[in-house]
Amino acid sequence: MKKALIVWGGWDGHEPQQVADIFAEILRGEQYEVEVSDTLEAFADREKLLGLDLIVPVWTMGQIEQQLVDNVSAAVQNGTGLAGCHGGMCDSFRNNVDWQFMTGGQWVAHPGNDGVNYTVEIRQGSSPLVEGIANFEVSTEQYYLHIDPAVEVLATTRFPVVNGPHATNKAVDMPVVWTKRWGLGRVYYNSLGHHADIVALPQVKELMRRGLLWAAEGKTYAESATQDLQNIGSYSGMADSQ
């Protein structure tokens, strides 16, 4: 049975407990063993994190000890998946650039605040993670993020929709959903999810379900790759001794 850890907390405005409950329901429905924690100390046991298939942060803003970030990073580099949404993953720990590097982006603005009507445009053919999902409309915060150029973009939204100092620039397509790699691990992010009702939208919930499972499945491939490297090393050592 695959194992997942969901850690929620930070700013209450993003309804972290309710969002964590949705993710726990999804994963338990997929026969995962799920632990849910409301403290960052859940990241303190590095060996435990290394043994997980998936880590799901649901923590907006706040502060985190560097050692805890290092523990999560070590686990992901060794194949543990990392997946999350909205401010719960890419507006966590604004002062920690290592977290931002690992997750692939950082929130900087949501022009118009909550209730902006916009289209989430799926990049058809970009990944099986979005296969069969059509473009859809939402009314929520439209996240403007600073993005790692290494991410693989699966969905976007067009800016500007509302007026602001950014509107005098040319129109840009801002990533909404992306994947990236961190060492041997898989990272998945979806900028939707300002409140739990947005996460519960059919399209968003399905995107998250696929992303959570995809990130967790990377552990199997990571273990296989590690074993292959060990086998190559053993073979080379035998050859050198002959």
pTM score of the predicted model: 0.94
Q: Which residues pair with 118 in a beta bridge?
A: 138
Judged against a pLDDT cut of 80, whether residue 181 lies above it is answered with: yes
Query: For residue 202, is the peptide bond before it cis, meaning its omega torsion is within 30 degrees of 0?
Result: no
Give the pLDDT score at 226: 74
* Spatial separation of the C-alpha atoms in residues 215 and 206, rounded to whole Å: 14
- Of 147, 182, 220, the closest CA to residue 69 belongs to 182
DSSP 88: H
Domains, the chain, ordered by start: 3-108+175-241 (3.40.50.880)
In the chain, % of residues over pLDDT 90: 91
DSSP 42: G
Average pLDDT, the chain: 95
Q: What is the pLDDT of residues 48-57, one digit of tens each?
A: 999 999 999 9
Tokens encoding 191: 């900028």
Give the pLDDT score at 172: 97
Q: What is the pLDDT of residues 105-135, one digit of tens each?
A: 999 999 999 999 999 999 999 999 999 999 9
* Spatial separation of the C-alpha atoms in residues 191 and 105, rounded to whole Å: 10
Average pLDDT over residues 81-107: 98
Helix (H, G, I), strand (E, B) or coil at 196: helix
* Spatial separation of the C-alpha atoms in residues 185 and 75, rounded to whole Å: 8
Judged against a pLDDT cut of 90, whether residue 152 lies above it is answered with: yes
Give the pLDDT band of residue 233 (cuts 50, 70, 90). Answer: low
Judged against a pLDDT cut of 90, whether residue 97 lies above it is answered with: yes
- Of 3, 26, 176, 219, the closest CA to residue 86 belongs to 176
Give the pLDDT score at 83: 99
Give the pLDDT band of residue 224 (cuts 50, 70, 90). Answer: confident
Give the total residue count for the chain. Answer: 242
Give the pLDDT score at 218: 94
Give the pLDDT band of residue 235 (cuts 50, 70, 90). Answer: low
Q: CB–CB of 110/144 below 8 Å?
A: yes
Helix (H, G, I), strand (E, B) or coil at 95: coil
> In degrees to the nearest 10, what's the CA dihedral of 157, 162, 165, 169?
50
Judged against a pLDDT cut of 90, whether residue 227 lies above it is answered with: no
Give the pLDDT band of residue 65 (cuts 50, 70, 90). Answer: very high
Give the pLDDT score at 229: 61
